[in-house]
Structure 1
Amino acid sequence: MRAGLTQRRVRAVVPAVLAAVALTLSACSSGASGDNASDADITKALGTPNKATGSPVLLGLISDGKGTSIDQSAEIKGAQAAIGYANDYLGGINGHAIQLKVCETQNSPSQATDCANQMVSAKVSAVVAGTLAEADQVISVLGAAKIPAFFSQAASKAGLSTPGIFSMTNALNYFSTPAAYAKQQGFGRATMVVIDVPGASGPAQQIGSLLFGKANVAYNVVPIPPGTADMTPQIQAAEANSPKMYMLLGDATFCSSAIKALRTLGVQSTILASETCVNSDASASIPGGYDGVKVVASLEFNSEDAEFKTFKAALSRYGDGTAPASIPGIGYAVALGLVRALNAAKVTDTSPAGLQAAVQSAPPVPYPLNGGATFQCNGKAVSLSPNICSANGIIADAAQDGTLSNYQVVQAGDLLTTGG
């Protein structure tokens, strides 16, 4: 394959940045309202009841959960809300009631292996997961046992190449979406300001250079150490390249400093930031807050959208009243996305092999909370890897406090190919 080297390069450097993203997503602003809805509103949002009455199908959920340094436990509530909603309103999986076995890795490699072994012992038909920090340990066990796993993102070498392992969203979103947007807007030059840790600055250089190069956008990377309060010198030096767009990748504290520097210098270029940059608490420290910043997001939270209203209602009824936000959204979307694909395929064989075959044969279906964009796990969504089910990304406008609106789906499929 002419682009085999390109494919190996991308596979080799992605996993660490996804782990870093998983650790910082809890800081991102959902732009969603957490106000309480009446029971009548909840019932209306959930739709017409269609209760599953058939024999149960056991699915597994593996989540980082609550560890010593992060708390992703709301992801579990989101997945449980999706399953409760599916069982009562979508007929489960083609009439079969869904049961969910949950295990938390707590960011421990040994616990991740144990969780995967628990799923094998329980004889689950499939596993769903978000963006696990220790994904490869899970993939190793489930791949050997031929139990399909459906991640929000799993872009390690194992995640991209192991049969039966799927990334249901665009695993390269933080690089492909900005590159596609720059191409769409006709920006000839772009600069990525990235927190200088191996899991971010390395991929920004290698993956970013590849994808922006394919978009025919001149690309420069400015790695800045964590804790740098004043980034004015680095931004001033970057201005020598006259970039039309700055992409920020880091946590909220890092990106706040970057935005302050850009505004101090009066930079007029478009500012694009990863959703991990955006935190309502941090907005007060930025002159003007996030107003005018565009955000690369993985989910869409539009309070007027029927999809969001269903999500919010499902959390109220089946997710212990968890407030709608990014972390529960990830668990909800990946679990409900799997159910949608299986029902679209009219699955009858609920064994692991049967569920995998059904998902691979399913037509395109809307991915939950993704602006109506579809996913399809037939191996053709992204030629870079048959395990990636979508090339979509989302860009939204941020208000001063970080609330997001005006979501736009961005297609990056032409950049995510193995061709040169």
Structure 2
Amino acid sequence: MGIRTGRIAVAALAATCVFSVVSCSDNSSSEAGSTTSIAPGVLATGDPIKVGLFNPSKGPATQAGVTTGKNAAIEYINNQIGGINGRPIEVIDCGIDNTSPESTISCANQFVQAGVVAAVDGYNAESAAAMPILTSAEIPLVGQIPFNTATGAVPENRVFFGPPPAAFLVGFLQSLKQAGKDSLTLVNADLPQAHQVFDSLLTPLGQQLGIDVKSAYYPPAGPNFTALASTIADGSPAAGGLMTAPNDNTCNKLAQALKSVKYSGTVFLAACTEFVDVLGAQAVGAQSYSPVWLPPAIDSAPEPAKSNLRTAEQFIDNAGGTAGFYAYGTFATFVDLARALTSAPPAEFTGPAILTALKGLADYQSFLGPKLNCGKATSPNCTTDMLLFEVTGDKKTAPVSGGFITPNPEVLKLIPGAA
């Protein structure tokens, strides 16, 4: 594909999505009641291992899927696989406003007071505000994708099991170029992190690849989806849609609006899944991204991801609440944390020992994603591989390349923390 190596002025890449709820350590599997019977597993015993969760459940961009994934993961870890090296996990779940660094700081202080040994990043766009507090207290931050530019730019005191946000953008643009598509219009919530993505990275990267990239913003509290769809359709770009999404409902409404204005290009809907069922046959050809395998693509997933995905689906269904991308991503994050620390348990469960153990993961098969190699000197991410799904004709999805896409490493090197 001949990508020219040059200067891309980037402050980096981040996303804007969010999550929910308040307090924690709930080993119950359900908000709405169990739907399927789960065979007895290995129960965790002994003193709990306390872990914090930055859970964006307040403000204009909440994401309830994180709570679902967390609840399902606690049930699976504590009552099915014997906890973390035999000990139960206890989650101190702190609700934050994804647009307020002050609420993130408050949660970080709460975690220090509670004596957690690690904190899970629930896709928090303001996570950088917590890093000085967590680092001083020797509490590592663990997550799937760093949705904050500064958090993802350096590897100190943090580990992310998924790829950097830049990988999704580079991989998506690579796929467009390979398909012969040379124009793209994407919209995003009008938040500071979104402007950094679009203004500092998306346009110059498009120029490098010969893709005409345009962007537009909408108020996160009350988008006009018909107007957004008209903006995307203007000029008939080859592809258009959302770079990030606060929830599946946003994706559903924008997808329906794009169909109503007769947009005929490739519809791109960030990290959403629900639109596959909502739109039915009209969803065919639409694309979305993910760091992990998701239920609509289970037929394409290899083992062990396929059997693990069935397990995740069962526990998430039983947990009740909102499912979708963020539920599965959160479930995978907690489970990979528990499995990694069980397979190679530290001598003691302290923040520094946990960080060392996670940084030492090499050629480690993650629960729903690719193999992980953590501890890079320049990046907190354990992989750059990402999945780009396309909707097929049977309300299912399949990866456009047959599996994971590895974004061009020379391009990723130009983005702090991405490689």
TM-score interval for Structure 1 and Structure 2 normalised by the shorter chain: 0.7 to 0.9
Quote the Cα distance in structure 2 between the aligned partners of 1:77 and 1:277.
15
Q: Which residue number corresponds to residue 335 of structure 2?
A: 336
Tell me: CA distance 1:312–1:86, structure 2 relative to 1, closer, same or farther (3 Å): same
Q: Which residue number corresponds to residue 38 of structure 1?
A: 36
Tell me: CA distance 1:213–1:277, structure 2 relative to 1, closer, same or farther (3 Å): farther
Q: Deviations over 1:148-170 (max 9, x none)?
A: 01122223214422611233222
Contact 1:301 1:404 in 2 (8 A): no
Matched, 1:113 2:101: no
Aligned AA for 2:404? V
Q: Deviations over 1:89-132 (max 9, x none)?
A: 33322333322222212444333212111111122111112211
Matched, 1:123 2:121: no
Contact 2:121 2:127 in 1 (8 A): no
Question: Match for 1:374 among 371, 378, 383?
Answer: 371
Q: Which residue number corresponds to residue 18 of structure 2?
A: 22
Q: What is the deviation of 1:82?
A: 1.5
Tell me: CA distance 1:182–1:165, structure 2 relative to 1, closer, same or farther (3 Å): same
TM-score (norm 1): 0.75
Matched, 1:307 2:308: yes
Q: Which residue number corresponds to residue 60 of structure 1?
A: 52
Q: Deviations over 1:332-378 (max 9, x none)?
A: 121112123323434333110000000000123333433xx223322
Q: Deviations over 1:206-239 (max 9, x none)?
A: 322344456x343322436653636787567635
Contact 2:290 2:325 in 1 (8 A): no
Pick the structure with more helix per residue: 1
Q: Which residue number corresponds to residue 390 of structure 1?
A: 383
Tell me: CA distance 1:219–1:278, structure 2 relative to 1, closer, same or farther (3 Å): farther
Contact 1:56 1:98 in 2 (8 A): yes
Quote the Cα distance in structure 1 between the aligned partners of 2:180 and 2:206.
11
Q: Determine what percentage of the aligned residue pairs are the same residue.
A: 18
Give the SS at the match of 2:172: helix
Contact 1:117 1:141 in 2 (8 A): yes
Tell me: CA distance 1:37–1:218, structure 2 relative to 1, closer, same or farther (3 Å): same
Contact 1:227 1:254 in 2 (8 A): no
Quote the Cα distance in structure 2 between the aligned partners of 1:270 and 1:140.
42
Contact 1:232 1:262 in 2 (8 A): no
Q: Which residue number corresponds to residue 272 of structure 1?
A: 268
Q: Which residue number corresponds to residue 126 of structure 2?
A: 134
Contact 1:57 1:98 in 2 (8 A): yes
Quote the Cα distance in structure 1 between the aligned partners of 2:396 and 2:335.
23
Quote the Cα distance in structure 2 between the aligned partners of 1:413 and 1:337.
26
Give the SS at the match of 2:91: strand
Contact 1:79 1:328 in 2 (8 A): yes
Question: Match for 1:88 among 79, 90, 97?
Answer: 79
Q: Which residue number corresponds to residue 148 of structure 1?
A: 140
Quote the Cα distance in structure 2 between the aligned partners of 1:23 and 1:87.
22
Give the SS at the match of 2:82: coil
Contact 1:246 1:271 in 2 (8 A): yes
Q: Deviations over 1:241-299 (max 9, x none)?
A: xx654464364344544454453xxx4x5443323596479738xxx632221222344
CA RMSD of aligned residues (A): 3.7
More off after superposition, 163-172 vs 295-304: 295-304
Q: Which residue number corresponds to residue 407 of structure 2?
A: 412
Aligned AA for 2:324? A
Tell me: CA distance 1:175–1:277, structure 2 relative to 1, closer, same or farther (3 Å): farther
More off after superposition, 404-413 vs 141-150: 404-413
Quote the Cα distance in structure 2 between the aligned partners of 1:86 and 1:281.
30
Q: Which residue number corresponds to residue 157 of structure 1?
A: 150
Aligned AA for 1:390? T
Aligned AA for 1:97? P
TM-score (norm 2): 0.75
Quote the Cα distance in structure 1 between the aligned partners of 2:360 and 2:233.
52
Quote the Cα distance in structure 2 between the aligned partners of 1:139 and 1:224.
29
Contact 1:291 1:399 in 2 (8 A): yes
Tell me: CA distance 1:131–1:326, structure 2 relative to 1, closer, same or farther (3 Å): same
Question: Match for 1:176 among 170, 174, 192?
Answer: 170
Q: Which residue number corresponds to residue 25 of structure 2?
A: none
Contact 1:51 1:88 in 2 (8 A): yes
Q: What is the deviation of 1:73?
A: 4.2
Question: Match for 1:192 among 178, 185, 192?
Answer: 185
Contact 2:272 2:288 in 1 (8 A): no
Give the SS at the match of 1:412: coil
Tell me: CA distance 1:218–1:5, structure 2 relative to 1, closer, same or farther (3 Å): closer
Q: Which residue number corresponds to residue 101 of structure 1?
A: 92
Tell me: CA distance 1:394–1:171, structure 2 relative to 1, closer, same or farther (3 Å): same
Q: What is the deviation of 1:35?
A: 11
Gaps of 5+ in 1: 25-33
Gaps of 5+ in 2: 21-31, 299-305
Q: Which residue number corresponds to residue 29 of structure 1?
A: none
Q: How many residues align?
A: 375
Give the SS at the match of 2:295: coil
Structure 1: 4+ residue segments shifted above 6 A: none
Give the SS at the match of 2:124: coil
Give the SS at the match of 1:22: coil
Quote the Cα distance in structure 2 between the aligned partners of 1:23 and 1:114.
16
